[in-house]
Every structure is written in structure tokens, then in C-alpha cells.
Chains A and B, each alone.
Chain A
Amino acid sequence: MIPPAIQMTGIDKRFGAVHANRAVDLTVTKGTVHGLIGENGAGKSTLMSILYGFYAADAGSIAINGKPSLIRTSADAIHSGIGMVHQHFMLVETFTVVENVMLGAEGGMFTARGAAAVRSKLLELSQAYGMDVDPDAVVSDLAVGELQRVEILKALVKGADILILDEPTAVLTPTEVDNLFVLLRRLASEGKTVIIVTHKLKEIMAVTDRVSVMRRGEMVGTVETAGTSPADLAELMVGRRVVLTVEKGPARPGEVVLAVEDLCVRDARGTLRLDHVSLSVKAGEIVGIAGVSGNGQSELLEAIAGIRKPSSGRVSLKGEALDCGGTDDPRTLRAKGLRHVPEDRHRMGLVKPFAAAESAMLGCSDEERFGKGLFLDRDLVMADCAAKMAAFDVRPADPGLRTALFSGGNQQKIVLAREIERDPQLLLIGQPTRGVDIGAIEFIHKRIIALRDAGKAILLVSTELDEVLALSDRVLVMCGGKITGERLPDQTNEQDMGLLMAGVTSEQPKEAA
């Protein structure tokens, strides 16, 4: 019998008081795609980091292809044939694909020989697995899906037989996800072993052979994908039945809260990123913006939030004209009742070296409730964060813990708690559930709908089509900086949306501007 590609036995890891992995066993058969799921903070990334040598386990052993292996560093892991594709790509933007793949394998003082070797290997591998990547393309010019392929190639060139992908689909478009899955299946059929960590049960069902489920640091079970269902997996993960569909009543829209007219944004190079966008959001209504990421959604949110100055156009909040990015900076806009959950929590939403309590008052540090006059009262700051953590079930509920040490989903809850708890008039939300587990998604969706029912206006941007359709009362689709169509969520389908997202407008072309 072939020994399992990976056999982790009794893996235990503590971070101070947090028991991230408790006697975890994981067996992965060679030539399969194995899913790993679990709530935020369940310990998935920790387990994978131990497998890849980032952390040393406190106890337990690892055997690769039946051979006991001592994996202490990533170099050991690479040597054992393990490759990892990180969620945040570790590529040098100004280098070409070949140069990136070569990193760590330069082959001597002069790079020409190494480059030639890497190039031929790259071509061979990309042919073998049907990945078309231009070896001389500069990385900064590549789309996200291509970047990921480069990361995978990087691992394969280093001789990886086992690939770990931690939340690989969070930033991909639906087509890119499909392509990735085709690739993963192909890798598996060629005898490679793939472990994929994800929060999306649909993806687990689509691509894996077997799934392991973790809960609060423990491995609660491994099942054959064919013999399970999303609802069963969700129950295994959370320990209770999870409602996978969003329940909401009809919207009762009131007066217009946000009105945007002919908004244009140019980037630093002068390229038009937002092209005469007009939209309105009423009180008690969720307006969703669907579209492939990078089609102007970020610019739209940032312009309304006062982070970016529009080049032309008008924005008004409750009838009051705003000078976004001018006199109306994010601070004054917040005072006017605008709250903003940024798309990228690491870049904007949090300060990673800060204690959670300090991240939890980002943008509100002027408010009276945090202290008197010029001073901040540490006890008040901590207490405020503790209350938010309790309300949003952030784990661990320790306001003093450094922000960077929370798992992705818990970081997102901190941001959401900060913005939602402040009773906004208008809430801008970018990617509310990126990297968030299904239990938390259910919770976050409920909070967003409760906010709507309390008569607040909500503008939602998400690249998850299902999410936009489930939450929104009206859906706008963006492509190339323009709004290509508006739909009611119950009067459209994936195909229709797909066309709009690709920029094909089914309506009569408007008269030329």
C-alpha cells in the first residue's frame, strides 16, 4: 500500500493562553485534493504553518510519504517536497516571472545559467499542467489569477509534490477560480497532493476528494466529499445548524441618503478609473455593486469615503452636497454619519502592530467616549473594545492582544464591529466577508440586514456574486469604471450578471455622450 503523502499525528501548539492546535491528526492521501475547513481561529493556518515549518509544534510528529520528517524551517519543508502558496503573494513586483521563480535558486554568481534552467523548467511545467504564463512578463502587470499561477509554478519549480493553498480563492474572479480548480484537479491526477484551506463550502464540494474539519483547535472529522453536503459540513464546523441562505424581508426604502452624480476618478497616471458613475442609496435599502475586482469599485468607495478626490461629479449625503477628499475628509464624513468598512483590512482597516483595542478605535480616536480633551483613557479604550468583541464574538476576546495575531476572520469582525456599532446613517462596505467563516458570515449578514431594517442606507461592494445577490435590494454591476446595468436580485441570474460584469450591456445603447 502507498503510504499517505502527509501524516500529521498529535500536533499540539499553544500561543500563550490560546491553544491553537490540540492533538491534531491529519492524513492526506497521495494524489488527492484535500480540503481543510473550520471557523475563524480554528487553527487551520497554524496547522499548515507547522507543516510548512513556520512554527514548531509543541508536540506531535509529521511523516511525509511514510518517512518521519523533522520540519523545523521552510527550507526543511521545501526539501521534503512541500510548497506553500500564500494568500498574500510573496512576489517582487518589479521582477519578471522568471526572476521571481528563480529567487532562492539563482544558481551561482551570474544569473544567466540559472535563468535558462528555470525558464526551461517553467515552460515544461506550464505545458504539463496547461498553465499559460509569459515567463518574461513583469509581475506588476499580471492579473491576480496569473500571480497565483506564478506562485504555484514557483513551488513546483522547487520540486514540490505537496502543495498547500491557504484561502487561495479569496481574491480571484469566478473564472479564475474555475481555472484554478481545473489546474488543481490536473495536478492531483498527475500524482501531486494538494491541501486547500477555504471558507467556501461550494468550492470544497467542487474540487476536493476529502475534507477535514477543525473546530477550536481540534480535528473534528474527515469525510469523503462525495458523501457529504454543505449543510452537513457547516454543522460539523460550527457545531450547530447554520442557515446558509440569507433571510430578509422586503425593503422599505425611505428618502435618498446618498446621491452620486457623474462621479469620475482619475488615478495618479491620469487614467479614468471611475467613469461618470451615478447612483443613489435610500434609507432602509441595501444597494449592492457586483463586478470583477478592479473595475472601479475601490475607487467608488474611496471617493465617497473622502479618501480619494474625484476629478469631477457630485456626491451628497442626506441632501447636503459633499466636497469629498477636500473639506470633507474621512474624519468629517464620519461625524456626518458615514461609516466605511474598507475592502482591504490589512492595508487600511487595521494597524497590525497595534493592540486590538487601538485598531478598534481607528477613525474614532477623537471621540469623547475614549477620554477627556487631548487624552485617551486606556481603561475606556479597552472596555469599548471588549464590548465590541463580545457583541461580535471575536476570539480570543483579548483587547490587549496585537491585531496581527488574530486570525483573518476575527480581524474582519473587529473592523465590522468598529464601523457598524457606531450607528451610521450611511454604511459603505467593501468585501464584508472576505476570509470569514460561514458562522460569522451568517452573523455579519444578519447584522447588515438589521442595520437596513433600522432604516440605514447601505452601499455594498462584493466580488462574491452570491453575496451581492443575497443581501442587496438592488444590484448595480460595474465594469471598466462604468455602471453597466441595474437589476433586482430576484429578476436576474448568473448568466445575465456575468454578461453585465463583462461589460456587455443588454439595454439599448444610450445615445453617444
Chain B
Amino acid sequence: MSARPAPLWLTAGVVPLVNVAVAFLAAGLVIALIGENPLEALQIMLRGALGSQYGLGYTLYYTTSFIFTGLAVAVAFHAGHFNIGGEGQALMGGLGAALVALSLPFLPWPILLPLCVLGAALAGAAWVLIPAYLQAYRGSHIVITTIMFNFLAATLLVYLLVGPMKMAGSMAPETAKFVPGATLPLMNQMAAWFGLTLTRTPLNLSFVFAILAAITVWVLIWRTRLGYAIRTVGANPDAAVYAGISPARITVIALLISGGLAGLMATNEILGVQGRLINEFTAGAGFVGIAVALMGRGHPFGIVLAALLFGVLYQGGAELAFDKPKITREMIIVIQGFVILFAGALEMMFADRIAALYQRFAGQPVSA
């Protein structure tokens, strides 16, 4: 036995579960207040999100985006920075993928597709370069600059989609369709290659990318020299300087990785589902990523779980709004808000009490 404070299963398992339970309790209260049965609502939500191939497909499709944006926030966070520009970086990721797809349609897919994915990552990274530089070398706060860059990205995309990149003859702000070699296969298509039949949902190959990205981030942060440098800068910049690690350089690198991960979110929506660049395709995933990263405590495994929870909330919530006219789309946002509040912002509210309880029953002291 070692002298670690509280076991991991407690801090990383029980505590978040209690938080989520409290969030659902609060949400249930609101649902009861508007005269619906909370238990029934919960049932509809869970069944809608997990009870069918169709629902599960959608849930995992949402999860995919949230994993990317959650990882993006987490990597920056480990370097001590709060990148809230995931939204803009993801939009630019879409632009990057589209530029590759539309300008090199003649390439065979084994070359074109990886280039599109790379384009998404590079464009997302490029979009954070200026805020990162300003933070690292000029001290301009990253929160402010990335917010501004979110607006810039949104405006730029609108300009491009109604102007230079608009598909001729279309009324909608969107580009032409990509060639098939520039799109990711849907999960049901891939299943068909193995002779399996799955319901058609937007779930696509990028889900696998997201899981790979989570594993890669874990290796990066805890098993590489760069990850060590990132964590040192995040935890004690003076010690980093002493060690010969340049906080400015590491800040830029970590934020570029963060932006790249956010950019990869576009692989899900643009390369996986749309097959063309459309406006506002991120639908707030960049911001959900903040909650996901907080709730997952910056740990890739936690982020995957938190992203799944938000996937369930999105898909189950949509079903609920569909089934119960009294529970509107806005109501669902309230429920998501509770989860963010209890699991993200107030994540430590019950931690001490749970630890104390554990101490009582395990007969072993737990320190804060």
C-alpha cells in the first residue's frame, strides 16, 4: 500500500457519478415543475440515446465531435492555458479539409483522404497560431484572443460560403460536394464490407479517429518528453525556466496541438457527414468541449466518458423534445446546463464529503 490520498476509482469514478446523479436530480425537479414525469423523461432519454442502433449511432456521432473538442481544451489546459477558441478552430478545420478536397479532387483516395484530414488539423492549428504567439511572447490573454478569433472564423466562413467558395447555382451558403474519395465512410457502410447490416446513421470512421486521438493524447501527456514539458509549464513555469524548458515555446506548441485537435472535429461533420463545407457546422461543439474537458478532468479516458455523456444528452434530449412537446429544445439545454454546472464547475463540491465517508468506512485517513 502506498500513501496516496484517495484511490483513483473514488476520485475519478464515484465522484463524477455522484455529480451526474445530482445534475439529473436537479433537472428532474425542473421537469416535474413543468408537469411532466421525470422518470419517464429519463427513460425516454436513455432509450432514445442508447436503446436502438439508430439512437446509439447518433449518440456516438455527437460523442465523436465532443471527444475532439474536449481533448483540444485538455491539452491546452495541461500547459496552463484556457483555449476557448475550439469553435473557431473547428470551423477553420472544416475550411482546411474543404480546400484540400476541392482543389485536389483528381488525387486517388488513399492520398486525398489523409491530406483532407491533415488539412483539417493544420488549419485548426493555424487558427490558434496568432493567439498562441500573442500569449506566449506578448502576454495577451489567450481567453480574449481566442474568443475574438471565434468571431473572426465565423465571419470568414460566411464570407467564403456566400462568396468565393459558394457552389455555383446554389441558394445555400455551401460549397460543391466533395469527390467521394475525399469523404469518410459511414459506419454502416464499413459494416457492410464485413457483411454486417447496421442502421444508417451519421456515425462514421472519424469516431475511430477520435478514439485514436484520445489514446495519442494520453501517450503525449504522460509518456513523452514533450508532455512532461507541457505539464511542467502548466504546473510551475518558474521550474520550467529553471529546467531549461521555454514556457513560451511550449505554450505555442501545446496550443498548436490543441488547435489541431479542434480542427479534427471537422473530419466528423464535414468529411464524414456533409461531404461539403457548410456554415455553422460546429453547432457549439467547441464550447461543449470545455465542459467535457472539465468533467473529464483533463484525462483522455475521462474525456471519452464525458463526451459520451454529452452525446447521450444531445441525442436523448432530441428524442425527448420530439416525444414530449412540453419539453422543448430549450429545456434540454437547461438539463445540459445542470450537468455542466454540477459535473464541470462544481466538480469538487461533493469530493470532500465522499472522501470523508470513504475514510469512515475504510478506516483509513484521506487527506485533501
Report which A residues bind B (CB closer than 8 A): 13-18, 55, 58, 305-307, 329-334, 340, 342, 347-354, 358, 361-363, 365-366, 370-371, 374-376, 378, 396, 398, 400-402, 405
Instruction: Choose one: A17, A358, A374; the contact of B1 (CB below 8 Å).
Output: A17
B3 and A16 form a contact (CB under 8 A): yes
B4 touches A330 (CB 8 A): no
B244 touches A376 (CB 8 A): no
Chain A binding site: helix, strand, loop or mixed by DSSP? loop
Please tell me the number of chain B residues within 8 Å of chain A, measured between CB atoms: 28
Q: Tell me, rounded to whole Å, the shortest Cβ–Cβ distance linking A164 to chain B.
A: 20
B3 touches A365 (CB 8 A): no
| Interface assignment of B243: CB less than 8 Å from any CB of chain A | yes
**Given A329-B246, A354-B235, A362-B239; 8 other pairs, CB 8 A cutoff:** A16-B3, A361-B228, A362-B242, A365-B225, A376-B225, A376-B227, A378-B223, A405-B3
Q: With the chains together, A305 CA to B3 CA distance in Å?
A: 35
Check A371 against B4 for contact (C-beta < 8 Å): no
B5 sits at the interface (CB 8 A): yes
- How many residue pairs, one in A and one in B, have C-beta atoms under 8 Å apart? 102
B352 located at the interface, meaning its Cβ lies under 8 Å from any Cβ of chain A in the complex: no
Q: Which of B223-255 contact A (CB under 8 A)?
A: 223-229, 231-232, 235-236, 238-239, 241-246
Give the complex CA separation of A275 and B161 in angstroms: 63
**Known contacts A363-B242, A401-B3; A15/B228 CB under 8 A:** no
Rounded to whole Å, the gap between the CB of B368 and the closest CB of chain A is 9
Which of B2, B223, B241, B367 sits near A330, CB closer than 8 Å?
B241
* Chain A residue at minimum C-beta to C-beta distance from B6: A16
Contact B225 A363 (CB under 8 A): no
Give chain A residues whose Cβ lies under 8 Å from the Cβ of B284. Answer: none
- What's the nearest-Cβ distance from chain B to residue A206, in Å? 35
B364 on the interface (CB 8 Å rule)?
Answer: yes
Interface membership of B51, Cβ < 8 A? no
Measured between alpha carbons, how far is A320 from B239 in the docked complex, in Å? Answer: 27
Note all chain A residues with C-beta closer than 8 A to B105: none
In the assembly, what is the distance between CA of A340 and CA of B241, in Å? 12
Q: How far is the CA of A15 from the CA of B6 in the complex (A)?
A: 10
Partner of B232 from A58, A362, A402 at Cβ < 8 Å: A362
B365 interface residue (CB < 8 Å to A): yes
Question: Are A351 and B236 interface neighbours, CB within 8 A?
Answer: yes
A349 touching B225, Cβ below 8 Å = no
- Interfacial chain A residues near B219, Cβ < 8 Å: 375
Contacts A331-B244, A351-B235 given; indicate if A16 touches B226 (C-beta within 8 A): no
For B231, what are the chain A residues with a Cβ–Cβ distance below 8 Å? Answer: 351, 354, 358
* B216 shortest CB reach to chain A, Å: 12
19 A-B residue pairs with Cβ-Cβ distance under 8 Å, sorted by A, are A15-B367, A18-B3, A330-B241, A330-B242, A330-B244, A333-B244, A347-B236, A347-B238, A348-B238, A349-B239, A350-B239, A351-B236, A354-B231, A358-B228, A361-B228, A362-B239, A376-B224, A396-B3, A398-B3
Residues on A with C-beta less than 8 A from B235 are 351-354
Chain B contacts for A358, CB-based, 8 A? 228, 231
Q: Which residue of A lies closest to B365 (CB)?
A: A14
Query: Assuming the A-B contacts A351-B236, A354-B231, A362-B232, are A16 and B5 also in contact, with contact meaning beta carbons closer than 8 angstroms in the complex?
Result: yes
Q: CB < 8 Å: which of B223, B226, B227, B239 contacts A348?
A: B239
Asked if A334 meets B223 with Cβ closer than 8 Å, knowing A16-B2, A351-B232, the reply is no
Q: Is the pair B244, A363 in contact by a Cβ cutoff of 8 Å?
A: yes
Identify A349's interface contact among B228, B242, B245, CB under 8 A. B242
Chain B residues contacting A361 (CB-CB under 8 Å) are 228
Q: Which partner residue on chain B sits nearest A333 by CB separation? A: B244
Q: Report the minimal beta-carbon distance from A278 to chain B, rounded to whole angstroms.
A: 25
Compute how far the CA of A73 lies from the CA of B223 in the bound complex, rounded to whole angstroms: 40
B223 A375 Cβ-Cβ under 8 A: yes
Given A352-B235, A352-B236, also A306-B244 (CB < 8 A): yes
Residues of A close to B243: CB separation below 8 A:
330-331, 362-363, 365
In the complex, what distance in Å separates the CA atom of A398 from the CA atom of B1? 11
A58→B360 CA distance, assembly (Å)? 10
